[in-house]
Structure 1
Amino acid sequence: MQRRLTVVEGMALAQDIAQNWQQIWNFQARKGDVLLDTYPKSGTTWMQEIVDLIMNDGDEQICRRAPVYERIPFIELLHLMKPGMEEVNAMPSPRILKSHLPVHLVPPSFWRHDCKVIYVARNARDTVTSYYHFDQMLQFHPDPNPWENYLERFMKGEVGWGSWYDHVKGFWEMKEKHQILYIFFEDLKKTPLQQIQKVAHFLGKNLPEETLSQIARLSTFDHMKNNPMANNSDFPKEILNQSKSGFMRKGKVGDWKTMFTVQQNEIFEDDYRRQMEDSSLTFHNPK
């Protein structure tokens, strides 16, 4: 694995992904496919598990049929791990797929077929904190240390999958033009049942309250952390080295306070205001 980033269409991307950009861009979505898109470390795996449970009427056994990364393939990594392109093309419709690509770099076939997109956004401070810890494990991203340099790179969009600001604003601005359901990580934490019901409705599933409650229970952080089919514990080691820390770390709101100094928080806040001033998007930022 090459621990380098390169620029693709104005976005920082791992060299190992960038070298296969044409295949990613030309990915052929089908009518009925659903795309789960997020900026990294914003609740992606959580939403993957929720959606699979919704599509399978809350049946825990069916959702333990395979690891979550096989049940919901990651389109940027189809050339690096299983399931590969051939297996994904052979999957029956409707397929649920995952991506971290910003809205303008989502393969055009998704928009051409008017596919539904579920987007999860998490507040910037918790995202960068979680991403810093995650990049300690990710084998195709540069070493994130030291933290203060990583924080600067994040603010400049010089981390994998580019600018958090452009990412969250891009999908927010496009949500009225396409079938995009915009969900906030913090709302999912605070009112899981309501948010799960919203996702189910968006997917055309009318589930009874007891099933929704079952899905909420099966998708809690603690339950998923102890479910080997949901916690990515057997994710390919050449991509994700989990020898020091597990994939699922804390899943909390407000964990940024363990990392930011007072001065870093002030600098970040000034930069945040500047980068978000042109958008109506607001987050419940934990102070």
Structure 2
Amino acid sequence: MPFLKDLKIERVEGELAITLSKLYPKRVRGFVKVGEKKWCLPYKFVEQGDKILNFETRPDDTWIIAYPRSGTTLTQELIWLVGNDMNFDEAYRKPLTERVPFIDISLIREDELLASSTSNEQKITKYSVEFVQNQPSPRFVKSHFPLDLWPTVVNNDCKIIYVARNPKDVVVSWYNLLRDLNQYQGNFEQMCNDFINNHTMWAPYWEHVKSAWAIRHKPNILFLFYEDLTKNLSENIKKVAAFYDKTYNNEQIAKLTEHLNIENFRKNSMVNQLEQAGRIKPESFIRQGKTGNWKEIFTPELEKKFNEWIVDNLKDTDLVFPN
């Protein structure tokens, strides 16, 4: 079994630590870089990382993995409903956070941030790994941790759905969410520099995506692009259904498509939990659901920098994002 002590862990120190402490004031214990790829994670990972590395998976698990703000929430709801025979009744009465729990959250969220949470939220958030471990099969699990840090998932036959999104749209959505949650004090240009230089949580972005892309041909893995989901949702519902060896009629597919329509999705209290808890504006967590919004905020200089960064990181792979 792999253990945290076997990974190279470097604490972020010096001027960078001071800068990040100002930009991320609620990360009171700072950040660490983990493993050969230097995954950027909160210090709390040092205390609880073994829970992730040695998590007990089951063959009938479904793991939904993505870099933050890549369309994970939409994908969670889609996958859960397809995998659970379009059980809309349960989807409308049971929060998504319980149907597809976010297993990482206890390893990245400082305990003091739980003070305003309800007792049930604290159970799911503070003890998220244990909460998932104790769920009945078949389990549906969300994670932002890269596949590199999930050896027991990668080496199992459980289903893995990875969703990727254009990094320009990712950084815009990521910045807006952190700002609205008061977890980031910098401006957008600073956020872009952090993102490119791998100083945001779960970075490096490219290693995150490419580690999944490299094993996408395995029969238990489905690699999706958020751009494809938004362009033709019904066809992607059929693709997911085939992945589960299920068949749904046109009426069922149309119902799910309408359920996932961004206007309906944003108003759905079972998926927009941050808004329901009064911590964020309704449009902050479930945002516009569009692609190409980066064009509204990027300066020509930022666009040039991102384009060069993208080209440089795609030169050693056949990964191509949809236009």
Q: Normalising by the residue count of structure 1, what TM-score does the alignment of the two structures yield?
A: 0.89
Which residue is 1:88 aligned to?
A: 132
Task: Show the counterpart of 2:27.
Answer: 2
Q: Which moved more, 1:148-157 or 1:41-50?
A: 148-157
Gap change, CA 1:153 and 1:259, over 3 Å in 2:
same
* 2:295 is equivalent to residue 269 of structure 1: no
Shift of 1:111: 2.7
Determine whether 1:145 maps to 2:186: yes
Deviations 1:232-271 (A, max 9, x none): 235777xxx4269631121111110121101110121112
Q: Aligned equivalents of 1:91 and 1:25: distance in 2?
A: 19
1:1-287 matched pairs, under 5 angstroms = 1-3=26-28, 4-9=30-35, 10-78=38-106, 81-83=122-124, 84=127, 85-106=129-150, 108-138=151-181, 143-177=184-218, 179-233=220-274, 241-242=279-280, 246-285=284-323
Q: Which amino acid aligns with 1:123?
A: N
Q: Counterpart amino acid of 2:61?
A: D
Q: 1:157 touches 1:164 (CA, 8 Å); kept in 2?
A: yes
Task: Identify the structure with bigger relative contact order (alpha carbons < 8 Å, sequence gap 6+).
Answer: 1
Q: C-alpha offsets along residues 176-216 of structure 1, whole Å, 9 cap, x if unaligned?
A: 24621011111101110000111111122222221111111
Cα deviation for residue 279 of structure 1 reads 0.8
Q: CA RMSD in A?
A: 2.1
**Bigger helix share:** 2
Task: Flag the 1:24–1:275 CA change in 2: closer, same or farther, 3 A.
Answer: same
In structure 1, the gaps of 5 or more residues are none
> 1 CA distance for matches of 2:46 and 2:293?
31
- Per-residue CA deviations over 1:93-131 (Å, capped at 9, x if unaligned) read 11010111112112x221332111011111111111111
Q: Structure 1 190/163 Cα, relative in aligned 2: closer, same or farther at 3 Å?
A: same
Distance 1:59 1:129, change over 3 A: same
What is the SS of the residue equivalent to 1:249? coil
Query: Identity across aligned pairs (percent)?
Result: 33
For residues 5 and 277 of structure 1, the distance between their equivalents in structure 2, rounded to whole angstroms, comes to 29
> In the aligned structure 2, how far is the partner of 1:210 from the partner of 1:222?
20
Once the two structures are TM-superposed, the CA of residue 78 in structure 1 deviates from its matched residue by 4.4
Please report how far the alpha carbon of residue 6 of structure 1 lies from its aligned counterpart in structure 2 after TM superposition. 2.2
Q: State the distance in 2 between where 1:273 and 1:234 align.
A: 37
Judge which range, 196-205 or 80-89, deviates more.
80-89
Secondary structure (helix, strand or coil) at the match of 1:82 reads helix
In 2, the alpha carbon distance for the partners of 1:163 and 1:76 equals: 17
Residues 29, 177 of structure 1: alpha-carbon distance in 2 compared, 3 angstrom cutoff:
same
TM-score normalised by the chain length of structure 2 = 0.80
* Bigger-Rg structure (1/2): 2
* Deviation by residue 1:78-100 (Cα, 9 ceiling, x = unmatched): 46643234432232111010111
**Is contact 1:181–1:202 with CA below 8 Å preserved after alignment?**
yes
Superposed displacement of residue 137, structure 1: 3.9
Structure 2 unmatched ranges of 5 or more: 1-25, 110-121
Conserved 8 A contact 1:128-1:154: yes
